[in-house]
Amino acid sequence: MITKQNRLLFFPYFIWVGLFVLVPIGLLIYQSFIGLDGGFTVANFVTYFTSTTYLTMTIQSFIYAFIITLITLCISYPTAYFLTQTKRKDLWMLLLILPTWINVLLKAYAFIGLLSQQGSVNTFFDWIGVGRQQLLFTNASFLLVATYIEIPFMLLPIYNAIEEINPSVVQASRDLGANTWETFRNVIFPLSLSGVRSGIQVVFIPSLSLFMLTRLIGGNRVITLGTAIEQHFLVTQNWGMGSTIGIVLIVLMIIIMAGTAGRKKGVRR
Amino acid sequence: MKSLIRLGLAIVGITGLLYLSSLFIERSQGAAGADTLNIFNWGDYIDPELLEQFEEETGYRLVYETFDSNESMYTKVQQGGTAYDLTIPSEYMIERMIEEDLVLPMDHSKIEGLENIDPEFLDLSFDPNNQYSIPYFWGTLGIVYNDKMVNEDEISSWSDLWDPRFREDILFIDGAREVIGIGLQTQGYSLNSKNDEELQASFDLLKGLAPNAKALVADEIKMYMIQEEAPVAVTFSGEAADMMWENESLHYILPKEGSNLWFDNMVIPKTSQNVEAAYAFINFMLRPEVAAQNADYIGYSTPNEAAMALLPEETTEDEQFYPSEETIERLEVYEDLGPIYIEKYNDLFLEFKMLR
C-alpha cells in the first residue's frame, strides 16, 4: 500500500530519475534533430540510415559486441557454476571481483605493457622460439581485453541466480532419480536463466559503444559506434549527429531489453 | 571471514584518509580569487619548475589544468562554468575563438618582452597584430623513423609512406586534418582545401595508405616509438623531440612536399576572473631565460629569438626543428574551415579508419 509517507520516500528517486535519466534523454532527442546550421531537421537520421559508413559501423559494432558477449558467457557460466560448488565462495568471489576495483584505463595500459613488441608475452614467445608477433592493434587483442574487462559483470548475476536456487529443488531432482547432468539441464540451467539474461544485457549494451579500448588496444583499427559519437562530440562539434547515433543506440538497447525480457515468460511456464 | 572483514575495514579506512587529504589539498589550493591564476594548458606542455618559480616570484597561487585537444578545450571554455584565466590553443582554434568572441583583446601596454619574439611569428593571418594572442611554441607535422629498421634514404617525403615495405608499420596521429592533409599535400593541394573533388581524390589516394597503417593513436605514439613498437610514425615535431631524447635511434624529418606549420599561442579566455595575473604569466613566459628553459624541457621550437640565443647550438641549428626560411615557405598553417568542412574532413577520416 502506498501511504503518504511512502510517497515522500520515493521523492528523491523521482528527482534523480528525472534529472539524470529523463532530461538527458529528452535533450539527446532534441539535439538529434538539430542540423549543422542550428536549424530543425531530420537530416541527421537520413544521413545515418543512408550512409554506408555508419551502417557498416553499426553492423561491425554488433558483431564485436556479440562475440564479446558470447565469449564472456562461455567463460562466466561454468565459472559461476563451479564457484557455487566451492567451499570458500566469498574468497573466490572476492578474487574475481577485485579487478573491477581497478580503473579500466589502468587495466588497458597494463595490457599494452603485456602485448606490445617488447612486452612480456612477446618476450615469452621469443624465448620459446616462436618469435615476436604483432599482438597489439589486432582484433584478437581487442576482443581479449574487452572480454577480460566484461567478465565480472557477466559472472556476478549468473552466480547470484545459481546461488539463489533453493537446494531442496536440486535434492528433489536427485531423489526422483535424475543424474547430475539431467539435474543441471532440467533444473539448474532453466532457473539460472534470469542471471544469464541480466548478464547479457549488462555486457552486450556497453560493448556496442566501447571507444577507449578501440583506440588504446585496437589502435583505431576496430571502429565501434562509440568512436563515431566521441568524434562528433569532441572533434567536429556536430552534436546533432552525435546525438542521432546515441538515439539509435538507445533504441537498439530497448529492443535488446525487450527481446531478452520476452523470453522470460516462456521459461517460467 | 574475519580476515575479510579486516581487509574491508582497512580499505574503508584508507579511502577515508585519502578523501580527507584530498579535501585538505583542495582547500589549500582555493578556487578562484584575487591571488589565484587558473591555467588551462595542453598536457605535459610546460616545465613544472617554471610553475613553481612563477608562484614564488609573483605570489600568485596557480591552479593548473590540462586538456588533450583544442576541441575539448574549446567546449569547456564555451560552455562556461569554468574560470580559466589563460589557455594555449592552436592557431585555427584561436581564429575561431576570436570570431565567436570567446577571448579577450590584449592590452599591449601591459605586455613586456614581445620584442623578444621573432617578427616572423607575429602579426599572422589568424590574429592580425597579435591583438588576442601571444606566441608560446610553434612546430610542424612530420615523420619519425627508427634507423634500426629504416634507412635514412628510404624516407624523405609523404609519398614514401605508401611504400609496400611499410605494410602495417606506420603509426598515425589520430587527427582528421593531419591524415587527410597527407593525402592533400602528396598531390600538391592545400591543407585548407575546400574543394570536394580534391578531398575525394585525396581520400582515394589514402585508401592505398590504409594497409600501411599499424594504428591511429594519440599521445601513446611517444611511448610506442621509444619502445620500438613501430619503425615509422607521423607526429608533431615536439612529440618527436621528446622521443628522440629518450631513444637515440629515432629521427625526425620534414616531408619534401611540405607540411603543416602550427602555432600555440597564449590567450586570455572570456571566462577569466584575474586578467592581471594572466598578464603577469604572459610576461613571465616571454622572458628569454624562462622561454629557453621551457623550450629545452619540452623540446618544441620556441618563437622567442632572445631565448634561442640561450639554447645549445645543436638545438637551434637543427634544420628539422628550426627549418630554414626556404623550408618554412613550403609549410602551411591550418585555417578554420567552418563546421561544414570540418564535418567533411572528419567523415572522410572516419571512413579511412574503417578501411583495412
Which of A27, A116, A220, A222 to mutate to probe the B interface, most B CBs <10 Å? A220
**What residues have CB less than 8 Å from B95, skipping those under 6 apart?**
B126, B127, B335, B336
Which of B71, B72, B354 faces A57 most closely, judged by CB atoms? B354
- Mean pLDDT score, B50-57: 94
CATH number of B139-261+319-354: 3.40.190.10
Q: What is the pLDDT of residue A263?
A: 53
Do the Cβ atoms of B353 and A216 come within 8 Å?
A: no
- A226-231, long-range: CB within 8 Å, 24+ apart, which pairs? A226/A61, A227/A57, A227/B350, A227/B353, A228/A54, A228/A57, A228/B350, A231/B346, A231/B349, A231/B350
Domain ranges of chain B: 1-27, 28-137+264-314, 139-261+319-354
**Whether B228 contacts chain A with CB within 8 A:** yes
Q: What is the pLDDT of residue A266?
A: 44
Do the Cβ atoms of A227 and B350 come within 8 Å?
A: yes
Torsion, Cα of A19, A20, A25, A26 (10° steps): 10
Residue B31: is its pLDDT beyond 80?
no
Residue B30: is its pLDDT beyond 60?
no
- Kindly indicate the confidence band of residue B71, based on its pLDDT and cuts at 50, 70 and 90: confident
Question: Rounded to an integer, what is the distance from CA A87 to the centroid of its chain?
Answer: 29
Residue A180: is its pLDDT beyond 90?
no
Q: Which residues of chain A are at the B interface, by a Cβ-Cβ cutoff of 8 Å?
A: 36, 53, 56-57, 60, 90-91, 94, 112, 116-118, 134, 136-137, 215-216, 218-221, 223, 227-228, 231-232, 234-238, 241
Do the Cβ atoms of B343 and A236 come within 8 Å?
A: yes
Measuring CA to CA, which residue among A231, A74, A59, A196 is closest to residue A147? A74
Q: Do residues A138 and A164 touch, judged by C-beta distance below 8 A? A: no
- Mean pLDDT score, B334-350: 89
B28-137+264-314: what fold?
D-Maltodextrin-Binding Protein; domain 2 (3.40.190)
- Mean pLDDT score, B133-150: 94
- B46-53, long-range: CB within 8 Å, 24+ apart, which pairs? B46/B294, B46/B297, B46/B298, B47/B293, B47/B294, B47/B296, B47/B297, B47/B298, B49/B293, B49/B297, B50/B284, B50/B285, B50/B290, B50/B293, B50/B294, B53/B290
Length of chain B: 356
- Kindly indicate the confidence band of residue B325, based on its pLDDT and cuts at 50, 70 and 90: confident
Residue B141: is its pLDDT beyond 90?
yes
Write out the three cell numbers for A96: 574475481
Residue B23: is its pLDDT beyond 70?
no
Q: Do residues B47 and B297 touch, judged by C-beta distance below 8 A? A: yes
Measured CA to CA, the distance from residue B213 to residue B167 in angstroms comes to 7
- Kindly indicate the confidence band of residue A264, based on its pLDDT and cuts at 50, 70 and 90: very low
**Whether B341 contacts chain A with CB within 8 A:** no
Phi/psi of residue B63, nearest 5 degrees: -115, 115
Q: Which residues, listed in sequence order, are joined to residue B235 by a DSSP beta bridge?
A: B142
Q: Do residues B97 and B103 touch, judged by C-beta distance below 8 A? A: yes
Residue A269: is its pLDDT beyond 60?
no
Measured CA to CA, the distance from residue A246 to residue A213 in angstroms comes to 19
Instruction: Find the angle CA(B33)-CA(B38)-CA(B42) to the nearest 5 degrees.
Output: 175
Q: Which residues, listed in sequence order, are joined to residue B236 by a DSSP beta bridge?
A: B141
Residue B185: is its pLDDT beyond 70?
yes
Residue B7: is its pLDDT beyond 80?
no
The half-sphere exposure of A73 on its side-chain side, counting CA atoms within 13 A, is: 18
For residue B213, list chain A residues with Cβ-Cβ distance below 8 A.
Answer: 221
- B181-190, long-range: CB within 8 Å, 24+ apart, which pairs? B181/B141, B181/B260, B182/B158, B182/B206, B182/B209, B182/B234, B183/B209, B185/B158, B185/B255, B185/B257, B185/B258, B185/B259, B185/B332, B186/B157, B186/B158, B186/B159, B186/B257, B188/B257, B190/B332
- Mean pLDDT score, B97-120: 93
State which H helix or E strand residue B172 sits in. Answer: strand B170-173
Q: What is the pLDDT of residue A262?
A: 54
- Are the folds of B28-137+264-314 and B139-261+319-354 the same? yes
Measured CA to CA, the distance from residue B267 to residue B52 in angstroms comes to 21
Measured CA to CA, the distance from residue B229 to residue A80 in angstroms comes to 38
Distance from CA of B349 to the nearest CA of A (A): 10
Q: What is the pLDDT of residue B25?
A: 61
Q: What is the pLDDT of residue A168?
A: 92
Residue A268: is its pLDDT beyond 70?
no
Q: What is the pLDDT of residue B338?
A: 85
Q: What is the pLDDT of residue B26?
A: 56
Phi/psi of residue A47, nearest 5 degrees: -55, -45
Measured CA to CA, the distance from residue A244 to residue A237 in angstroms comes to 13
**What residues have CB less than 8 Å from B205, skipping those under 6 apart?**
B183, B186, B187
Do the Cβ atoms of B220 and A223 come within 8 Å?
A: no
Write out the three cell numbers for B336: 578554420
- Mean pLDDT score, B114-119: 92
- pTM equals 0.82
Do the Cβ atoms of B346 and A235 come within 8 Å?
A: yes
- Mean pLDDT score, B282-286: 95
Task: List Cα–Cα distances, B183 to A63, A187, A241, in angstroms.
Answer: 31, 62, 26
Question: Rounded to an integer, what is the distance from CA B89 to the centroid of its chain?
Answer: 8
Measured CA to CA, the distance from residue A173 to residue B58 in angstroms comes to 81
- Mean pLDDT score, B216-227: 90
For residue B342, list chain A residues with Cβ-Cβ distance below 8 A.
Answer: 235-237
State which H helix or E strand residue B351 sits in. Answer: helix B338-354
Measured CA to CA, the distance from residue A114 to residue A129 in angstroms comes to 18
In this predicted complex, what is the ipTM? 0.84
Which of B75, B222, B350 to mutate to probe the A interface, most A CBs <10 Å? B350
- Kindly indicate the confidence band of residue A212, based on its pLDDT and cuts at 50, 70 and 90: confident
Higher-pLDDT residue of B170, A95? B170
- Kindly indicate the confidence band of residue A150, based on its pLDDT and cuts at 50, 70 and 90: very high
Domains of chain A, first to last: 41-267 (1.10.3720.10)
Write out the three cell numbers for B150: 629504416
Instruction: Find the angle CA(B213)-CA(B218)-CA(B221) to the nearest 5 degrees.
Output: 70
Measuring CA to CA, which residue among A261, A257, A256, A239 is closest to residue A24? A239
Measured CA to CA, the distance from residue B217 to residue B171 in angstroms comes to 7
How high is the mean pLDDT of chain B?
Answer: 90
Judging by DSSP bridges, how do beta strands B232-236 and B332-333 pair with one another? unpaired
Q: What is the pLDDT of residue A16?
A: 92
- Kindly indicate the confidence band of residue B238, based on its pLDDT and cuts at 50, 70 and 90: confident
